[in-house]
Structure formats: structure tokens, C-alpha cells
Amino acid sequence: MACHEQYSGFRYEVITKLRYRNENERERFEGVVNLSNTLFELLDYHQKENLRLRVRFEQDVVDLQRNSDPVSIKPCDRATIDKKLLLLQEELADLHKQKGDFALQVINLRNALDEKEKEIASKNIQIEELESSLTNSELLYRRLQQKLSETEHNLQFIKDEHDALRITYASIEDKRQKLEKENGDLIARLIELKAEDADRLNAETELIQRKKQAKLQKELEEAAREPVTLDTSRGKATVCLDAILPRKVQHKFDAHDGEVNAVAWTHSDVKFATAGGDRRVKIWDLTLGTPCLKGVAPESNSSVYSVDFDPEETLLLAASCDFACRVWSLSDMKIKHTLTGHSNKVMSAKFLGETSQVVSGSHDRTLKIWDLRRRVCMRTILAVSAVNDVVTSGNCIVSGHFDRKIRFWDIRSESTKNEILLQGRITSLDLSLDGFSLLSSVRDDTLKLIDFRMNKVVRTFNADGFLIGCDWTRAKFSPDGQFCVCGSQDGSIYIWKISFGNIEKVLREHYATVVACAWSWCGNYLLSCDKNKKAILWTEF
């Protein structure tokens, strides 16, 4: 009962089993112990009896020696004494035999007792181990009880937090539904206002168009009455009937201090521009047949990846990695506009059909249309993916993207007109002079010819050893539309025949990745640049 009060649960069961086993083992050895005690008592008794008989025997011997006179001893007494002596000797032998048997039994019992003591010691060790295990189990039980208590407390805390969050969620859900309803009402009102603005803008646009048409009609009538004089001051033609297939290097020179990223020709073919990783844009004059540096645009804050001239050859446009585009005047190389608003590097910028408008594409996944007269961003188009190059045709903008798509945008609408998925990132776009074909260079080491009217790929150009070297590698049409050209990672320049898709020529003079190539507008020269500062002017002879 005391044990039951002191211990409970599994501890009580362990103690009960230990006590039962102790009683069972004790009963098994108790008979052996009692028998051993009895044998020891018998042994003591027989030893005493043996001693008594020995003393008596010695006494009898002494008595016989005293009465040893053979004359005095009667024959009958001698026979009796001999018989008695014989009996005593036999009894002594039996006693010695019993003594030996008892000694053997004692030895056996001693051995058995030693074994039992060893078993008892082993059982005691096991009991101590079990008691130690019991103590450890009790300690573990207390720790588990404490941990269980803490877990229950934490669970209750989490339940309370869950209830509070449910209440908060219900409140937020009510607010969200109210805000959605308000948002729907605001959108409906906004749509109505936009419709009203659109009607008003359409009316204003129609009025402006009428005024422009009337003014244009008046100017045409006045121009028809004025005499016409032809300007023959230009030394080079701007219309190409048959582009040359370059065969030799006319001039090789260091264009920049770092890699050269872009090249562009003026329509008169007298000048060309280069842009590089040294943050400079340079103007070169080719009047004397040799490239001569005529001007350096003020430094940008980072590498320049795109250059373009306006149709009137009065402005130079460049796109830079410092998130901006810049416009310089060609006459004095002074900066006229800095177009900021992108949040990542600007990879391409082009004049949008006229001198007053510019479109730029950036890695911030937007296209921006700029009005240079008002010096504002007229519109921002969310282009979904990083833009690597743009080209323009009338009211259409074509953009090449990092997500392997070419997208077509109408500047008069809010969304894309169409898109084409290719097999790699788009690195460049070029539109043929007739406006019917689009050339794209792709990071799967191919050039794609796209029918601009059907918006589908009609031919693929590739070659053994041809590798697109970077994400801003530029491919170009020849001005007569018969050839296309692109530089390779190994420094070679590959020229393909458009009509058949075969390689027409491979030029090898660069020793670094060729980034950009461009034919002059008259088709007499091909200009190429690489990542090792070099620019090469190619000609036929």
C-alpha cells in the first residue's frame, strides 16, 4: 500500500514485477539453503560423535593395555573384545565414509550456493539497472509532461490567434467587397469619361485633319505655281539599285577605347556614327575615302548600345545603359535633349518616321514614345519582357524581346497587334526598305526572315561555325534587299543571299566577336565593329 502510494502508473507495475520475481527466486533457493544448513548440522553432529567414539576407543585401548595380562584375560572376554573392536572399526569406517559423503555434499552445495550467489548478484545488478532506468524514465516522463504542458499552452495561444485572424479576415473581406464595388463604380465612370474624351478628341482630330488638309492643299497649289530647281550638291546617291558584295578591307581602325557596340550611316553616305563601351558616340567623315573623326558627342554615363540619324541628317540619337536616351545636333555636336524615364538600361532607340518623335526600348520591359518638340513622353507601352531592339514603320512599332517573342504594336491602340514566338532571345531587328520583310537575329544562332505583311517566318539563315556573340548582336539588310549580314562570335562576318538562303560570302578579318554590321545607303560600303575596339570598312575592290 505504501508502495502504491509512493509510485503510480507504470512505476508501480515495474516495482510489483520486481517484488514478485524476488519472492519467486527466493522460494527456489530457500530449500537448498535449508538443506545446506541441515547437512552442516549433521556434519557437526557426526564430527562430535566421531570424536566421542574416538575418545571412547582410546579409553578402551588404554583399559585393554592395563589388563593386558594374557593369563588374566579369559578366552571368552578376548573374543568379545575383538568382536567389539571389529565393530568399532567398522563403525569408524562407516563414519569416515559418511564424513566423505557429507564433505562431497558440502562441496557440491557450496558450489551450488556460489552459483546462486552469483545469480543473486546478477539479479541485484539487473535490479539496480532497472531502478536506474526507472529513474531516467521518471525524469523523461516529467520532461514530457512539461513539454506537453507547454505544447498545450502554445496550441491554445495559436487557437486564440487563429480566431483573431479569422475575425480580422472577415473584416478585411467585407472591406474588400466594398472596395471592389466602389472600384467597379469608378471603372464604369472612368469608361464613360474616356468615351466622352475619345469623342471629343476624335472631333478635335477631325477638325485638325481638315485644317491640315486645307493647309496642305493651299501649299501644294502655291508650290505648283513656283519654279522647281534640282539640288545637285550631294556627291553620293541615296538610292541603291545594286549593293556591292564586299571582298576586301579598305580601312581598319580603332573606333573606341573599349568594345564598339553600334554603327549607323547617314542617308548621304558621307558620314557614319559609332558607339561603344567607353560611353562615347563618334561621328566619322568619309568624304576623302578614309574615315576621319569629325566629332565626339559629350559622354554618357554608361555604355551606348544604339545610334540612329534622323531623316534630315540634323540630329543624332543614342540609347545608353544609364537609363536614358540623348539627342545631339550634328552641326555642333551639342546635346539638345536628354530623355529620362526608363528604370533600366535602354538597348535601342529610333526616330519614329519624323524628326520630332522617338521610340525607345528598355530592359525595364517598356517602350516609350517621346515628343522632342514638347520634350515629354507621349506614351508608355508595357512590353511584357525586356526589349533588345526596336524598328518602326509608319504607325507600327516592332520590338524584339528577351522572352523570344517579336511583338507588333500600333501606336494608335492600347495593345499589341500580333506577336511571333521564336526559338531564342531576340538580339536585333531590321526592316527592309520596301517595308515588306523583317530580319531578326536570334540567340539560337540563326537569322529569321519574316514576311511583315503575313507576320510569319518565311526563311531561316544559319551556317556551320556561325554563333551569335551577345544579346545586342545586330543583323542588317543590304539596301537593295538582296543580302543580309551578321557578325559571329569567332570574328567572322557571314553574308547570305536572301532569295535562296545560301551563304554568299564569309569575311574574316576581326579577331573578336563582331557585334554590329551596316551597309551604306548607296550599297558601296560595309561597316563592321567588334568587341576589341576595331571597326572595319569593307569594299568590293
259 and 145 both lie in a single domain: no
* Cell output for 71: 593369563
CA gap 455, 121 in Å, rounded: 98
pLDDT of residue 503: 93
Helices vs strands, H then E, count in the chain: 3, 28
142 and 257 both lie in a single domain: no
In a domain, 109, yes or no: no
Distance of CA 204 to the CA centre of its chain: 53
pLDDT of residue 236: 40
Q: How does pLDDT run along the chain (541 residues), one tens digit per residue?
A: 444 455 566 777 788 888 887 777 777 677 777 777 887 787 788 778 778 877 877 777 777 666 655 444 455 667 787 787 788 778 878 878 887 887 888 888 888 888 888 888 888 898 889 888 888 988 999 999 999 999 999 999 999 999 999 999 999 999 999 999 999 889 888 888 888 887 787 788 778 777 877 877 777 777 677 654 444 443 344 556 678 889 899 999 999 998 999 999 998 888 999 999 999 999 999 988 889 999 998 778 889 999 999 988 899 999 999 999 999 999 888 999 999 999 999 999 999 877 889 999 999 999 999 999 888 899 999 988 999 999 998 888 999 999 999 999 988 776 677 889 999 999 999 999 888 899 999 999 999 999 988 888 999 999 999 999 999 999 999 998 899 999 999 999 999 999 989 999 999 999 999 999 999 988 889 999 999 999 999 998 7
Backbone angles phi, psi at 341, to 5 degrees: 160, -20
**Residues 113 and 32 sit within 8 Å (Cβ to Cβ):** yes
126 and 263 both lie in a single domain: no
Backbone angles phi, psi at 496, to 5 degrees: -110, 155
In a domain, 352, yes or no: yes
146 and 252 both lie in a single domain: no
pLDDT of residue 96: 81
Strands (E), 180-268: 248-254, 260-265
| CA nearest to 417, candidates 381, 460, 447 | 381
Domain that holds residue 127: 118-151
In a domain, 97, yes or no: no
Over its C-alpha atoms, the chain yields an Rg (Å, rounded) of: 58
State in Å, rounded, how far the first CA of the chain is from the last one: 121
Tally of domains in the chain? 2
Report the CATH number at residue 423: 2.130.10.10
374 and 521 both lie in a single domain: yes
Contacts of 8 (CB under 8 A, 6+ apart): none
Helical (H) or strand (E) element with 457 = strand 456-461
**Residues 296 and 274 sit within 8 Å (Cβ to Cβ):** no
What angle do helix axes 10-66 and 75-225 make, rounded to 10 degrees? Answer: 160
In a domain, 309, yes or no: yes
Sequential DSSP letters for 342-384: -SS-EEEEEE-SSTTEEEEEETTSEEEEEETTTTEEEEEEE-S
Tell me the residue type at 209: Q
Tally of CB atoms within 10 A around 252: 15
Q: What is the dihedral of CA 400, 403, 409, 413, to 10 degrees?
A: -160
| CA nearest to 479, candidates 320, 266, 302, 282 | 266
306 and 424 both lie in a single domain: yes
Surface-to-core class of residue 284, CB atoms within 10 Å of its CB (0-12 exposed, 13-18 middle, 19+ buried): buried
Surface-to-core class of residue 537, CB atoms within 10 Å of its CB (0-12 exposed, 13-18 middle, 19+ buried): buried
* Cell output for 228: 522647281
| CA nearest to 465, candidates 508, 404, 429 | 508
Strands (E), 256-345: 260-265, 271-276, 281-285, 292-297, 304-309, 315-320, 324-329, 335-340
pLDDT of residue 232: 41
In a domain, 489, yes or no: yes
pLDDT of residue 406: 94
In a domain, 371, yes or no: yes
Q: Could you give the angle at the alpha carbon of 270 between the alpha carbons of 264 and 273, nearest 5°? A: 25
Distance of CA 23 to the CA centre of its chain: 70
Sequential DSSP letters for 66-119: HT--TTTS-HHHHHHHHHHHHHHHHHHHHHHHHHHHHHHHHHHHHHHHHHHHHH
pLDDT of residue 8: 62
**Residues 404 and 425 sit within 8 Å (Cβ to Cβ):** yes
CA gap 31, 20 in Å, rounded: 18
**Residues 481 and 430 sit within 8 Å (Cβ to Cβ):** no
* Cell output for 322: 544609364
Tally of CB atoms within 10 A around 14: 16
pLDDT of residue 64: 66
Which pairing describes strands 271-276 and 260-265: parallel, antiparallel, or unpaired?
antiparallel
**Residues 321 and 345 sit within 8 Å (Cβ to Cβ):** yes
In a domain, 527, yes or no: yes
pLDDT of residue 489: 94
In a domain, 86, yes or no: no
DSSP 276: E
403 and 294 both lie in a single domain: yes
Backbone angles phi, psi at 454, to 5 degrees: -100, -10
Q: Which residue is associated with the grid cell 564586299?
A: 246
Backbone angles phi, psi at 494, to 5 degrees: -105, 130
